[in-house]
Amino acid sequence: MKLIKLNPAEVSETKEVPGLLNCRIDYEVKSAKGRLDYAGPKFTPELWHQVMSFFRWTHKEMQSESQVRLYVNHQLGRWGAWAFPQEARTGMNARELPTQETPEQARQRFASWQSEPSDDWLYFGTVHHHCSASAFQSSTDEQNEWNQDGLHLTVGRMDAEQHELHARLYLGGHCFETDLSRFWPVDPALAAMVPPAMRDELARFQMGAKVTVDFPDAWRTNLVEVKVERRPLLPEPRWDLDRLDMGRRSRFRLDEALEEIHQQCAVLGIPEQQWLAELTTLAADDVSQVIIEACLKHGVLPDELLAEITPGSFEGA
């Protein structure tokens, strides 16, 4: 697996002539090459499908993201996953609650992995989903993950028959591209039938399949509805596109717009089906398109237009 993001580092050099001068030179590392080889255990299909089934349940029942933590035990040669207490109905956000795990809860977690409590279990990654949006690493994901060693996965298109996956592995703040065939038990006979470069795609396809299994009841009870004070949305004074980075890839801009809509509607208690229906109506209605294009072109908001219009008549320019 190839190094794709470098954790910025500095190297210092000092020179001194006693009684005369002292010199310090700081070097900032701009680029580096590196590779990572993973030789640990692979996920069991049962464990992975538990995670995916939990995600589909939270997407359907809670209209929000959720996450699980990943643990690996190289002594036992297997992975474990656990959904710790987290907020429900958060839209496109996954937020764990700052609660201390009790000894009884810890025993329950280890028991789900058919193991006695042991320090051999290493916290080594996370998995979360992006509801109906695509799988990508958001800026929030990157900020949360860069200092957490391990495998980090995002699952997208939870309402589809085939889900998407985005994967990265962080170690010491450095990010490596991830070949998921190293973590997923692709059938050896099937793997031998495809070129090595395609095994990652094969693993992602199999991991994205919609297979429903049961998952621990504790994961359901760990989804906690937290009452949040609703604050009115304050729109920007203008639809000012000049300050946007239009050079960014269109897909990223689309995904982040969907993420913001999902999050804001969740705060207002608006279900996903409702805003999706509204978006469909806007996209299909010619009048809506004319109004939106005019507002974007002239940098005004719809409510400003309404305030300008005298009831029953239009004022001349």
What average pLDDT does this structure show over 73-77?
94
What average pLDDT does this structure show over 213-227?
90
Any domain includes 139: yes
Same domain, 155 and 258: no
Decide which of 164, 199, 224 is a domain's last residue. 224
Interatomic CA distance for residues 225 and 269, integer angstroms: 12
Any domain includes 23: no
Same domain, 92 and 217: yes
Same domain, 82 and 150: yes
Any domain includes 12: no
What average pLDDT does this structure show over 248-268?
69
Q: For the domain that residue 154 is a member of, what is the CATH number? A: 3.40.140
Region of poorest pLDDT, from 64-78, 214-228, 276-290: 276-290
What DSSP assignment string belongs to 227-243?
A: ----------SS--GGG
Whole-model pTM: value is 0.71
Any domain includes 272: yes
The encoded tokens of residue 177 equal 């591209």
Which residues, in sequence order, are CB contacts of 86 under 8 Å at separation 6+?
66, 67, 94, 95, 96, 97, 222, 223, 224
What is the pLDDT, as a whole number, of residue 291? 83
Interatomic CA distance for residues 4 and 25, integer angstroms: 27
Burial (CB < 10 A; 0-12, 13-18, 19+), residue 221, is exposed
Decide which of 169, 193, 224 is a domain's last residue. 224
Same domain, 85 and 199: yes
Same domain, 130 and 251: no
Same domain, 112 and 153: yes
Same domain, 166 and 51: yes
Any domain includes 14: no
Tens digits of per-residue pLDDT, 136-150? Answer: 988 888 888 989 999
Q: How many domains would you assign to the chain?
A: 2
Closest-CA residue to 41 (of 121, 161, 105): 121
What is the pLDDT, as a whole number, of residue 236? 46
What DSSP assignment string belongs to 3-42?
A: EEE----EEEEEEEETTTEEEEEEEE------B----S--
Same domain, 271 and 216: no
Same domain, 156 and 210: yes
Same domain, 274 and 204: no
Same domain, 68 and 216: yes
Same domain, 71 and 141: yes
Residue pair 171/149 in contact (Cβ under 8 Å)? The answer is: yes
Instruction: Give the structural domain span for 272.
Output: 241-308
Which residues, in sequence order, are CB contacts of 102 under 8 Å at separation 6+?
none
Residue pair 213/221 in contact (Cβ under 8 Å)? The answer is: no
pLDDT band at 251 (very low <50, low <70, confident <90, very high): low
Any domain includes 63: yes
Checking if the pLDDT of 314 tops 60, the result is: no
Checking if the pLDDT of 243 tops 60, the result is: no
